[in-house]
Each structure stands twice: as C-alpha cells, then as structure tokens.
Amino acid sequence: MPVQIQPSRDSRYPAGPSFARELLSGGPLRRNSAEFMLQTARRFGDLNHYTVLGRHVYQLNHPDLIADFFLKDAPNHHRNLVMQRSRDVLGTGLLTSEEPFHMRQRRLAQPAFLRQRIAGYAEVISGKTVEMAERWTSGAVRDVHADMLELALRIVGKTLFDLDSLHGAGEADGVRAMASAVDSFMSFLPLAFVPFSQQIQRMPIPAMRRLRAGREYLDRLIYRMIAERRADPTDRGDLLSMLLSATDPEPESAGGRMTDRQLRDECVTIVLAGHETTANALSFALYLLAEHPETQEQLAAEAAGALGTRPPSAADYPRLPLATQVFAEAMRLFPPVWVTGRECATPYQVAGYEIPRGAAILAPQFAVHRDPRFFAEPEQFNPGRFTEVEKAARPRYSYFPFAGGSRQCIAEGLAWMEGTFVLAVLARDWQLAPAAGAGLGLKLRPAVSLRPAKGVWLRVERRCREP
C-alpha cells in the first residue's frame, strides 16, 4: 500500500489535528492518547503534524515510514523525552542510553538472550505458572491482571537472579517486597512527562518517599547479588551470570566487561520493563480468551494434546502455535508498548517534509496495528492473522510490538516463550469467563505502557481432567 499524505494549509507541514482544539472538544484525546493517535491516523493519513505546548510532533502511520524511522533515519534520533528523564531512576541501561554506549551494552547483553539460553528458562516459566494457578479457587472472580503482574515478577526474579526468596524471607514475602519496590519505580515514570521531574523527586511528600525507598531497596538487592556473584562466579544459569561474564568482542574494548553500576542499570531495566509489558500482554490475552470461548476451547485442546498433564518444556514451543497466535493477536489489539518515540537530534526529511531539531517523532503501534489496509476488520479478535502465510503477506512494520532496528527489544524471544507457555497452561487447566457485575468493560490506561485501567476481572473454573 503506498504512503498517503494529506497536505495542510501550511506547505511546511503535513496535515494533522489541532492538539489544543482536540483537548477542549471532548474528542478522542479526552478518552485517551492512544485513541487520539488512532483517530489522527484515520483522519489525516500516514504522516501527521501537530504541536504540543509549542513542540513539533510528527506521527508516522505507515510501515514504509516506520521502517525508515527504525533503520535509515535512526542515526538522526535521540531517546525521547520520557526516556531521557527516566535515567534519574532507571540509570543508563538499554532503554535509556544513547549511541555508541547503547550498542556496546547491547553487544555485552546479547548472549544472555540467545535462543539456547532462553530455552533453559522454559522450566521456570511453566513451573511458576502452575504454582500460581494452584492458588486459584474454582468459581472465584479474580483480577487476573494482578495475578499476571505477580507471576511475571516471579519469573523475572528467577530468570534474572536465580531468586526464590529475598533477604531470607519466604518467596511470597520476598515477591511482595520486590513488587512494592517495583510499583514505587513505576509510579515515577509518568512524572517523566512533567518538567522539573528531578526537583519533584526531592520533595518530602509520601509518593516521593516511596519512590526513594523503592529505589534503595532494589539497589541494595541488586548490588548484593552482584557482590555475591563476583565472589563466586559460578554460572547459575540465570541472566545475571551471563551479564557478569560477558565481554565486549570489539577489539577497541580490549574485552571490557560491565561495571557494577552498568550491571545495576541493566538489571533494573529488565525487572521493570521485563515484567510490566509481558504481564500487560498476558492480561489482555486472557481477557480476549474469556470474551471468545470458542478460541479458548481450541487453545485448551491444543495444549492438552501437546502437553498432556505435564508442564511445557522448550521442545514444546513449536507444538503450541495457537497459543503463540493468541498472544500475538493480543499484542496487535492491545500492544503494551503502544507508541515508540524519538527526539530529532539532526534535522532530516520524511516524505519531503523537514523534521526540525528537537521535534518528537512517534510511531504508534496502537494505530498501525489497527489499520484496515493491513488487518481486515481490525477491531475483531482473530488469531488466524498470525499464521506464517498471513504474516508473510503483510509489510514488515505493519506489526511491531517489540519496536525495531537496533533498539528492538533484546528480550523478545523470552517474552514470546513466556506468553505462549502461560496461555497454554492456563487455558488447559482453567476455563475463563467474564465476571458479571465486577465493574466490567475493559478500560485502557495508556501511559508509559498500555495497561488495563481497572484490572481484568474474570471468573475462573478448574477444568476436569481425564483420569
């Protein structure tokens, strides 16, 4: 499909909405910013321009433009304003660092996410999923979003740190402590949109005290783990072992390794980004399965046929195609990373329009994933879109839940395995249904990630297994 651009009255810019007018009119922007970007793409074509508080914003809505954004034009970009301000909390990890430091860190971290290493985490994923579901009560109404956040945190704690308990506490207490620290971190990230965020962090108010306490807790935990591993460098099969042993293969680095601070920054990034986005995607997938019982039954049959009653292993991954397709379709409709942003560092042109220095450039997954040119009946749930034949028929960047280019999510392979196995185990063992009277209707909260605004409340019933 060719790029379609509408000119505006001012020939310097492509067409787009008035942000101020949209804000005051009660239109899609008042509902949420993801819906605003979706409607902007549908009304004004594949390249849009608007200003927010005097800042130029360019929105890219076509796979060809997004391919250039991730690949050809990447050297012209800095990290977006949110990521720049998030360095105060996240440090200079893969999410927030600039080139050339980012590429060095990626080279060092890449071996921790190779396919054979990820295969070793299959037992952790399936085991933690079974443990969590065993605590469910048949017939109960549960907020499965809360369950998925806890599950994803347990998985990342084990795969990153080989961690089942914290400070000698039982696993449940340890996970609650880590969850509290992570929640404090996550509560900061919306402040990254606000000017003077550094000054706000220093204010003696309860929210900032919780943020500082959460940061101190995670820092103590991570630095303690690093010190223990430096004293005993035995490979424990987790990501931290790989990060500690990684050496930069580039000759000019002389085999350099990560410092303790660099390790800390990457661990914090993995804990925060690695559990939040996967948990959100799983929550949306479970909601969609509850809304579509026929697909749910097909997935239950696939999982039972492939696995029997045992937990999945790495060898089972290709035997669960429908589980993978359901996870993929959930991320199409509700992408946890719902928009990818950059800041223009060096002026350049997009489709004949000059992008000025300091402008924000946005590639909104939420809008592109719902484009009817690439996805027929885009609002409908249809996992069949993700067969190999269907995927091959679409442009590469019509679907990009893990971004792209040199900044494509390094843990994408782990996320796919986690999503596939969790959905397969839960669909095999539990029947999910919408919970009437639980304040339902899915409401979205697009902030740093796209997450359910008020949880995902489902009724869970244990399936009867054949003896």
Taking only the tens place, the pLDDT of each residue in 425-455 is 999 999 999 987 655 568 898 887 899 988 9
pLDDT tens by residue, 356-390 = 999 999 999 999 999 999 999 999 999 999 999 99
Q: Distance between CA atoms of 104 and 397, rounded to whole angstroms?
A: 26
In 3D space, the residue among 441, 404, 458 whose CA is nearest the CA of residue 77 turns out to be 404
Half-sphere exposure of 457 (CA within 13 A, CB side): 12
Give the domain range for residue 78: 1-91+338-400
* Res 52 pLDDT > 50: yes
Distance CA 13, CA 130 (A): 54
In a domain, 85, yes or no: yes
From residue 289, alpha-carbon distances to 250, 296, 463 in Å are: 47, 5, 15
Tens-digit pLDDT profile for residues 168-189: 444 444 455 666 666 665 665 5
How far is residue 327's CA from residue 311's CA, in Å, rounded to a whole number? Answer: 18
Residue 358, in any domain of the structure: yes
Beta-strand (E) ranges in 271-369?
340-344, 348-350, 353-355, 360-363
Q: To the nearest whole percent, how much of the chain has pLDDT over 90?
A: 54
Residues counted in the chain? 467
Residue with tokens 């959100």: 280
> Distance between CA 337 and CA 219 in Å, rounded?
26
Residue 400 main-chain phi, psi, to 5 deg: -150, 65
Tally of CA atoms within 13 A in the half-sphere of 271 that contains its CB: 32
Specify the CATH number for the domain of residue 367: 3.30.43.20
Q: Would you say residue 52 lies in a domain? A: yes
Q: Is position 247 within any domain?
A: no
Report the pLDDT averaged over residues 6-34: 81
Note whether residue 65 is domain-resident: yes
Model confidence band, residue 239 (pLDDT cutoffs 50, 70, 90):
confident
392 or 25: which leads in pLDDT:
392
Q: Nearest-CA neighbor of 365 among 69, 14, 54? A: 69
| pLDDT reported for residue 171 | 44
255 close to 247: Cβ distance less than 8 angstroms: yes
The span from the CA of 305 to the CA of 311, in Å, is 12
Two structure tokens written together for 228: 């223990």
Band of pLDDT at residue 160, cut at 50, 70 and 90: confident
Return the structure tokens found at 208.
């900032």
Residue 32 confidence (pLDDT):
85
Q: Looking at 257-313, which runs of residues are DSSP E strands?
A: none
> Is 7 part of any domain?
yes
What element of type H or E holds 460? strand 457-462
pLDDT digits (tens, 9 = 90+) for 95-152: 778 788 888 888 888 888 888 888 889 999 999 999 999 999 999 999 999 999 989 9
- pLDDT tens-digit profile of 265-304? 888 888 877 788 999 999 999 999 999 999 999 999 999 9
pTM above 0.85, yes or no: yes
Residue 216 or residue 374, greater confidence: 374
Average pLDDT in the chain:
86
- Alpha-carbon distances of 445 from 48, 227, 355, rounded to whole Å: 23, 38, 29
Residue 307 lies in a domain: no
Classify the phi-psi angles of 241: left when phi > 0, otherwise alpha if psi is within -120 to 50, otherwise beta: alpha
When divided into structural domains, the chain yields a total of 1
Pairing between strand 55-60 and 360-363?
A: parallel
User: Residue 307's pLDDT is what?
Assistant: 96
pLDDT at 165 over 50: no
Which of 339, 284, 328, 285 is CA-nearest to residue 453?
284
Round to whole Å and give the CA distance between 224 and 232.
12
Angle CA(55)–CA(444)–CA(125) in degrees, nearest 5? 110
Task: Retrieve residue 13's tokens.
Answer: 């810019």
- pLDDT for res 292: 97
> In this predicted model, what pLDDT tens digit does every residue of 399-414 receive, in sequence order?
999 999 988 998 999 9
Least confident of 233-237, 292-296, 415-419, 422-426: 233-237
**Are 458 and 303 within 8 A, CB to CB?**
no
Strand partners, 457: 143
Residue 318 covered by a domain: no
What pLDDT sits at residue 196?
56
Q: Distance between the two ends of the chain, CA-based, in angstroms?
A: 53
